[in-house]
Chain A
Amino acid sequence: MPRVIVDVMPKPEILDPQGKAVHGALPRLGFDGVTDVRQGKRFELEVAATDEATLAEVAQIAETLLSNPVIEDYTVRVDA
């Protein structure tokens, strides 16, 4: 089955407390080279085909359910 990946990320201007918490933990573990962390979500959708109509439908799913456009951006891509 082909797979479509939807990545959802908090918009750049929206505070991401989870990313900040992860970032804050890194120096405690000895990792000092990371200057910022943003945390998002990845959805893997199994689909029958990856034609244009299917991808348009997935974009609609991402827009209406998987993301909240007020606070999040999404990208849709076919899993290679």
Chain B
Amino acid sequence: MKVGVVTFPGSLDDVDARRAVRVAGAEPVALWHGDHDLQGVDAIVLPGGFSYGDYLRCGAIARFAPIMTEVVEAANAGVPVLGICNGFQILCESHLLPGALIRNDHRTFVCRDQQLVIENASTAWTSDYTAGQTITVPLKNGEGGFVADAATLDALEGEGRVVARYGGVNPNGSLRDIAGITNERGNVVGLMPHPEHAVEELTGPGTDGLGFFTSVLTSLVAR
């Protein structure tokens, strides 16, 4: 199983994401923003960071990177795509996911070990968790406030498309404590916290994040 991780100019967590893919037992493939080639990968991760310096809006310019043509096509064809942090912002800007991420309501950058409650354990990226399970992974963002209009929020909740909610405290003002969402098909997931930083005991708060990367292998085998 090959999982591609796209590097944009300004990506920070692409190396950690590739490492998480390897720890989960898959082959990580480095993908380049300027290519039109997914190199035959079975799943794609858009990593965290500050693509294009967050100029204009977070993810707004990365959305038009050459490789995004292929990423959007693949996502629409059912290929699992996970956007973490800046990757989540890119997925929203690309209209693969609804809503948007705005500056934290308290206006400061936040970096902490964050409790999450997994709400939807049937997406391509969360099937190795159980619904209602609480996990702890790092969170670090300046613009992580998830917003959408009430009708969209109601639809997301009604269709079970809230993947994870913040537990304990809401760290960034996200509406309805939403930390991650999925598309109707369940193959595209956007998540503001960073599971790729919690895959080994040596670093991070534990290994709770590994499930995202093992889940996609499980779902690929099942296909």
Contacts and interface: CB of A to CB of B under 8 A. Distances in A.
Contacts of B57: 68
Contact of B92 (A13, A17, A20, A70): A70
A13 B99 CA distance: 14
Nearest to A67: B57
A65 B173 CA distance: 25
A55 interface: no
A66 to B, nearest CB: 7
Contact of A17 (B56, B98, B99, B107): B107
Say which size band chain B's interface belongs to: 20 to 34
A14 B147 contact: yes
Contacts of A14: 102, 147
B93 to A, nearest CB: 7
Contacts of A71: 100, 102, 147
Interface of B: prevailing SS? loop
Contacts of A21: 107
A9 to B, nearest CB: 13
B100 A70 contact: yes
Interface residues of A, number: 13
B145 to A, nearest CB: 7
Interface of B: 56-57, 60, 64, 92-93, 98-100, 102-107, 145, 147-149, 173
10 contacts: A14-B102, A15-B145, A15-B147, A17-B103, A17-B105, A18-B103, A65-B56, A70-B92, A70-B98, A70-B147
Interface of A: 10, 13-15, 17-18, 20-21, 65-66, 68, 70-71
